[in-house]
Structure 1
């Protein structure tokens, strides 16, 4: 089901104008104060009153009873969900001063960074050893979001990760899972917060968060966010500039009917970036290098513009039944001029393959669901039924420019000459069109007080059309038009032996978009059919006063993707991921909070010529994360934290001929809360990679690449809550 892009764009532009107008209205008191200063009038400030308050109680152990949106399962408490979940809220994001998804999820051992937005293009992560795909692996409020740019985390209220197959919950997607960003919404109480932040080596940002309700009976709500960031990054020659704005509105038109709308726009320009480091034939994995090394040539950049607009309603038909309908239009523009660093020998010498291209993604999604409960005899049912229609159009550069220049050496960085190519005058042609129509139903049945089952099915009609990027003409035959109609089921059995404990077993199937041979493959541009995956999971979730524990055993069978001995990208056979997750969080007395978790993972190729029994590329067999937080009662207002992440070594390629060393990262933080002028004020300091560990970040795609890990870096912030 497709929509008219022109209408969608008009909706988006109107949303932007409305955002600016309401933002000005909400910040009128600030403008009036500034006017008084400019006019030379004497402004009398009140006496400064400083008082400290302990933030120790701000970080309690999170309850597994929190109700969150879980795709086709509807709104469900985490402890009642037969899958592994991880939730990070805005408070955690602020305290860790996270600016990318890998930093947000650093406390989860099942997640690992696979690319960074400071030295590279966009932050990507893998979950359970599987790289999340850019098109379907990331959502905003449960709807489509193309992850080709950094989402402004200042506008995010919560990040949730579903680990494992998401075919039933969200439709097409990588079997690693789904990252779902939940944006900030209008609040019942007034909000006006200001923030300022510094990050190594000279990046400064300012932000404002304003929200509340107005009108008769406080029926209308708003939330406005704005962020500006710019400065030199921790990489020599690196620079970033970011401007973001967001608006959320709602109207409680009746006691049972609520309309909502939100819009977001963010632009970002990163300089001093490169695409990746690619070891050539016969070249070993190089020794690690300092994280601030300058490898990119002068004039490199990656530019993005993200626009989202969403509107819909929630209708409480009765105390038991609720309907939701939402429409989302999204647009993602990217333009880049950067290089791939091709290693020539084991001495670190490299040549740069330059590229200058433009790319655009547009997406339209309409989703409707009905959620409710009823009883049949002795059985209690929670039913969710719904339908979704998603249209994604990718346009790629018809005039993609490339050039090859002599590079430098990893161990002796020098300034490299700039680019002789650009994107000036380039056109974008239709390259890929995905139409995904789906219907889903899930029934959670309580058989007794202790036993319940879940049965769910998602029917998907998936059609993918491929086009010649140079002409925009659809490719002939199966290469140009692929269609798949399939039902992906999920089944689960849950047992509650006592209160706040759930033991579950679940089965789920999933589909994901087929791979595309990369520019370094001999069959560059070849598009493959969707991949099928299956997952089996057995787990337990339990909690008590001041503690919680989760554990899971899982097996994922996924269609294999690899580069063969002829350097061609292939899809054949499967990879089996067998793993175990164990984690927990506990409050020790009233001052200490400890969290720790670990992932054990074994991955092997099956029925793949030449790779039988090989380890999957980019998959560590052990990962662990821990964090301890101390809020001493003797130091009112203070809290301190220490975190550690460990990643074991892993194979770089499917042939298992190259190995990447493991590494351990430490971070420390300090937070002080007080009151200035009666306003809650928080000072925060974080040092990441405390020991300045040198390590490689690996992107395991059809053509795996390396990227230098971040060096020791510092983040400082000040936030003021005026209400």
Structure 2
């Protein structure tokens, strides 16, 4: 997407009446705010060196995370930079409840949280507004990534029960910021990034933050070279001490081939392969391309010392060319969910080009405090309207021959557009109310409810299989917290999450084709303890999530005909999460561990899966980080990172499991001043001991996949602050 942001383009955005009303509110508020002289708004600028004490994704953004009766992880910009993270999948190392879910190099990211795969269409936010994660999202201009764990019915209308991910962009800095970063890797990948920020104007009322990045991608995996670039600009205008207008816009482009997953060889789990092998290596293989243009505008106004309101509108425009020499199944042995026993597989030419996804969202929020006697109510009211419009073309999905896991076969291409795609439209309106009731200095009850009106339609690109439905759903949430003593909080919560599903409109297979199933309502209990201080903080949480399941995946995977689409038992995930961070003297220590007991129950479509754990969900996960500042050499710091994931099921019936694995990463960083210029040098080694292992085993698109862990990789970085 190469077009520039112009006034004409703003006018061409497909705004809903609610969105137009909010846009008008921005203009009226900006014009009338000069007359407002009341209580000063909280500062909107962010200093990059400070970790975020709050998590906007919680829905209670004004309350510190350690006081909230929920579980969340905030990964700040320092952690992003030190870890060398380029994509969301790189951040699993910071949270033991977050694991991979079909994270193929060169493709977009999937995450599993508390054993449930997040839905890329509904479980992601940017600046608090819903976005599609069916694209490559850069991290260079992100101040932090917030990951909420558990059901999210109070924060989102419809979403999978694992949690939510919110991207927060970098905002203007109070002091001038001039940072240049250069990084290279083992095969001479080169990243150049520029970060500029500051304020100007007679009273420094205007702020800006500019981020530019370009990277020549040369990973150790064969046939995976590519390129990406990103440009973003964030600004604000402090109209008065009570009124702030903020905006941000981001344009990104990435072109890179993707990496095919490996698979079972018949009924055998192969030994981990050389991770540099890429099965997507045909002479005609083309890179996938991801173009994104995203922006938002927000106006905030303090009404008095206790109340303030805000309005926000944003849009995301995506264009994708998805291409792959696709290894899928073994027709010779009649197994279409794995490769052949001899290491061969069926090869397909897959091309879905000019995919266009547009999402527009706007919100109005009012927050304030009310006293009723000695009881304090912290109230919040929200209205969120969004519109999704996805348009696709026919795609190629053509059998072209036989490949092998040694990546030595050469087959001819066939780009003929033989397969129809599915266009989708969606409108939703969500109304939310929440109340944190402070009975005294120790005891608080938390109440929240969200009502969502949905209107969804889909139709194949050839005009066949139209579906459509409307629904109204309500998701309540209640919690109670008690401060046992300063620095020690106990809490309990209960909440719902909602998903909607339509039976595929395929009358040749489904007896109720095209019908909307009753809303799938997940329920979660959570008990937790939080404690500590600035030097030592810890959290312990127990959760119990019950999610209804349907038989649609089983019917599709098993080819069941006829199939009556319906509920088919449930998935019950129970687990224990523990985490801590400790800063003392030259040491910084942190880590988390998750023990999860996830089971399938009550299935009649696949009774062999009852009592089994879901595929690709490890039974235990450990993440640990340690950093030591060498006191004899000021500015020198040694960091280590350990990730361990336990055994997991490869097949739904548990007959084949993936062994556990452990990986160690290391970083050496040196901060100093050279001729008065602040510089930071880093040497990092990912997979220090060059372990070969199967990183994950997703059961995706009706197929079993195995993805190897990345090989040992060296990273060298230099950051200069002028």
Q: TM-score range by the shorter chain?
A: 0.7 to 0.9
Deviation at 1:584, TM superposition (A): 0.7
User: Equivalent residue of 1:332, what SS?
Assistant: strand
Q: Structure 2 matches for 1:536-575, cutoff 5 A?
A: 536-544=525-533, 546-561=535-550, 562-564=553-555, 566-567=558-559, 572-575=568-571
2: CA distance, partners of 1:133 / 1:526: 21
- The answer to whether 1:96 aligns with 2:88 is no
User: Equivalent residue of 2:572, what SS?
Assistant: strand
1:431 to 402, 420, 423: 423
- The answer to whether 1:467 aligns with 2:459 is yes
* Counterpart position of 2:574: 578
1:414 to 390, 408, 411: 408
Q: Which has the higher contact order (CA 8 A, sep 6+)?
A: 1
| Residue 515 to residue 693, structure 1, CA distance change in 2 (3 Å) | farther
User: Equivalent residue of 1:169, what SS?
Assistant: coil
2: CA distance, partners of 1:630 / 1:607: 50
* Counterpart position of 2:126: 140
Deviation at 1:169, TM superposition (A): 1.4
State how many pairs are aligned: 657
| Residue 415 to residue 612, structure 1, CA distance change in 2 (3 Å) | closer
2: CA distance, partners of 1:567 / 1:9: 46
Q: Is the CA contact 1:641–1:670 (under 8 Å) kept in the aligned structure 2?
A: yes
Q: Is the CA contact 1:131–1:700 (under 8 Å) kept in the aligned structure 2?
A: no
* Counterpart position of 1:499: 486
Q: 1:360-390: CA deviations, max 9, x gaps? A: 2110101111111121011011101111011
* Counterpart position of 1:698: 697
* Counterpart position of 1:485: 472
Q: 1:328-366: CA deviations, max 9, x gaps? A: 111111112203323442332222222111222110101
Q: Structure 2 matches for 1:12-411, cutoff 5 A?
A: 66-118=53-105, 120-271=106-257, 273-277=258-262, 279=264, 282-298=266-282, 299-341=285-327, 342=329, 343-358=338-353, 359-397=355-393, 399-410=394-405
Deviation at 1:126, TM superposition (A): 0.9
2: CA distance, partners of 1:698 / 1:138: 23
Q: Is the CA contact 1:8–1:329 (under 8 Å) kept in the aligned structure 2?
A: no
User: Equivalent residue of 2:63, what SS?
Assistant: strand
1: CA distance, partners of 2:251 / 2:503: 29
Unaligned runs of 5+ in 2: 14-47, 330-337
* Counterpart position of 1:595: 590
| Residue 526 to residue 96, structure 1, CA distance change in 2 (3 Å) | farther
Q: Is the CA contact 1:262–1:311 (under 8 Å) kept in the aligned structure 2?
A: yes
1: CA distance, partners of 2:7 / 2:657: 51
- The answer to whether 1:674 aligns with 2:672 is yes
Q: Which deviates more, 328-337 or 261-270?
A: 328-337
Q: Is the CA contact 1:296–1:416 (under 8 Å) kept in the aligned structure 2?
A: no
Deviation at 1:563, TM superposition (A): 2.1
Q: 1:570-604: CA deviations, max 9, x gaps? A: 6522100000001111124x111111211010111
1: CA distance, partners of 2:147 / 2:298: 24
State TM-score, norm by structure 2. Answer: 0.86
| Residue 244 to residue 427, structure 1, CA distance change in 2 (3 Å) | farther
Deviation at 1:95, TM superposition (A): 1.0
Q: Is the CA contact 1:72–1:440 (under 8 Å) kept in the aligned structure 2?
A: no
1:443 to 435, 457, 460: 435
2: CA distance, partners of 1:292 / 1:515: 40
| Residue 354 to residue 427, structure 1, CA distance change in 2 (3 Å) | closer
Deviation at 1:431, TM superposition (A): 1.2
User: Equivalent residue of 2:90, what SS?
Assistant: helix
Q: Is the CA contact 1:110–1:127 (under 8 Å) kept in the aligned structure 2?
A: yes
* Counterpart position of 1:44: none
1: CA distance, partners of 2:343 / 2:207: 57
Q: 1:646-666: CA deviations, max 9, x gaps? A: 111111232323322221111
Q: Is the CA contact 2:55–2:74 (under 8 Å) kept in the aligned structure 1?
A: no
1: CA distance, partners of 2:238 / 2:294: 23
Q: Is the CA contact 2:588–2:628 (under 8 Å) kept in the aligned structure 1?
A: yes
Q: 1:493-537: CA deviations, max 9, x gaps? A: 100011122110001101134378799x987x9786453211100
* Aligned alpha-carbon RMSD (Å): 2.8
- The answer to whether 1:511 aligns with 2:505 is no
2: CA distance, partners of 1:284 / 1:516: 34
Q: 1:535-590: CA deviations, max 9, x gaps? A: 100001111351111010000111225425734596522100000001111124x1
- The answer to whether 1:622 aligns with 2:620 is yes
* Counterpart position of 1:34: none
User: Equivalent residue of 1:286, what SS?
Assistant: coil
Unaligned runs of 5+ in 1: 14-57
State TM-score, norm by structure 1. Answer: 0.86
Q: 1:100-122: CA deviations, max 9, x gaps? A: 1122231211111223352x511
1: CA distance, partners of 2:225 / 2:509: 35
Q: Structure 2 matches for 1:5-16, cutoff 5 A?
A: 9-10=9-10
Deviation at 1:71, TM superposition (A): 4.6
Q: Which deviates more, 488-497 or 219-228?
A: 219-228
| Residue 293 to residue 451, structure 1, CA distance change in 2 (3 Å) | same
User: Equivalent residue of 1:91, what SS?
Assistant: helix
1: CA distance, partners of 2:187 / 2:500: 39
